[in-house]
Structures are given as C-alpha cells and as structure tokens.
Structure 1
Amino acid sequence: MVATSAVAVEPDEVMADSAKEARARDLSRELRCMVCQNQSIDDSEAPLARDLRLLVRERIAAGDSDAQVMDFLVARYGEFVLLKPRLNSHTWLLWFLTPLALAGGGIALWIHGRRRAQSRAGQDAALLSLTPEEEARLNQLIAAEQASEK
C-alpha cells in the first residue's frame, strides 16, 4: 500500500534509471506550473506541466546537472517558473518585505504602547495634583479636623 506523492506523472514519463527519475522528481517539485501557478509541475495535470516534466527528463538524460536544468528553465521561462525564487537583486524585496513589515509593525505597536503609557501617567499625575483652591480647602479641612481632636 504505497501512496505516490503525485498522480500527475504518467507512466510513459518515468525514466528507466531510478536515480535519474528521483532527480527529475526532485526538480519537478521545485518548478511552478505556469498554468496552475500554485502547484509544482510534479503535481499538475496541465499539458504544459507535462511538457515541462518531459523537458526536465530530457535535459537530465542529456547529462545536465540539476543546476544546469534549473538555469535552462529559468533562462527560458524566467524566475517565475521557480516555486521558491532565488535570492538576488531582483527578488530581495520579495524575500525581506514580510519580515520587515512584521518588524516595523512590532516597533510601531511598542512605540504606541509607550506613548499611551506616558500619556496615561501624565493624566494620572494631573488628576492627583490639586488646584490652589482645592489645596486651600484641603488645608482648612485638615486644620478643622486637628482642632476638633484637641
């Protein structure tokens, strides 16, 4: 009872050499189906995905390394063909925008919290401070209390 990871690979696509087939499957999992866009060509049943799977196997059979196969496909279809884009000058924003946005949001929340705490402390201090009239009245009450105790 062995389950395959993808049903899209058809029997006529499978290479005779199991090591080369494993390489082809590994590479196919890293390549985006240009039709489905959220699936690898290994998982997609689209005709273009089949063509790409066959192209990968053809390049492997010709003796290309994994890097050469990937470079060939990127040169032919662009970086979009990769499910995980490479880190270079064109994709650094894609890789770092989310962590930078999260860090910026965290800093903004921290600053907001500090300002709010300082504002609340200032309001509390304002509530605790008495006006001159209130101080005079308080002093009168304290004096009257002390006079009645004697």
Structure 2
Amino acid sequence: MRAVLQRITKAEVSVDGEVVGRSGPGLMILVCAMQGDDAATAEKVAAKIAKMRIFRDDQDKMNLSVRDIGGSALVVSQFTLAADLRGNRPGFSTACPPDEGKRLYEHFAAALAREGVPNETGIFGADMQVSLVNDGPVTIWLDSASG
C-alpha cells in the first residue's frame, strides 16, 4: 500500500461540485492499494500513520501524532501512486484491480478510525477535486513494501 500524507489545517474533496468529505486540522491521506496488498497491509499502514509523530509539540518539535492532537483525516483513493514511469506515459498495472482496490481503501479508512483517527473519504473511482492547506508544509511518502 502506498500513501502520501500531508499535514493540514483543512482539506476537502468534491465530486461534481458537491463536497463529499473534509477534515482539519490533521492529515490529508492519498492512498493506493498495490498488487499483493491485503487487509493486514491496510491495517499495518493505518496503525503506522495513526502513530506517526509529525505534529508540533509545545517546544515546536515534530513529536505528536494525529491522535495526540485530536486531529482527523481526509482519505482519498489515488491509484496514480502506483505509476510506473519507465516511459513517458505512466502505467498503473501494479495497482490492485478496482474491486479489490476499493475494498482495501475502505478497509484502510475503517482501520484508521479504529486506531482513533476519525476520517472522511472521497468517492472511490470518481473524478474528484481536492483542496487543502498544507501545514508546514509537511508531506511524507509511505510504501508498505519498503518496511
């Protein structure tokens, strides 16, 4: 599973001009289920993100998690994180097939909530418009295959 986390003051996702999910302060999480991922992978990534200390403490050090600050998350599926860039046109064959990708995306969001991070989501497979205010900026890329 691949994810891009952005520390945010606020974020929202719209489909056809209607806001379908929002968050803030907390995290914007773009997530992609990869071939070979399963429910355990989604749970492992959710647990890691919930504990990741990327928020400032009272001494201005990145020492607090999204849970510690009472934050929330906006979780948006993004299969393009699976991009294979060997040529000029990216390929996405390493992403899970859509049905499995949707199941794992929803499982990830539910696992994140069980980890104490309330979240809202976009709509899997929809053409979404995402807006956010990146706090810091802090942006972190995570790949479960890397450890």
User: Is the shorter-chain TM-score for this pair beyond 0.5, marking a shared fold?
Assistant: no
**TM-score, reference length from structure 2:** 0.25
Considering fraction of residues, name the structure with more strand.
Answer: 2
Work out which structure has the larger RCO, using CA pairs closer than 8 Å and 6 or more positions apart in sequence: 2
Tell me the TM-score normalized by structure 1.
0.24
Flag the structure with larger Rg: 1
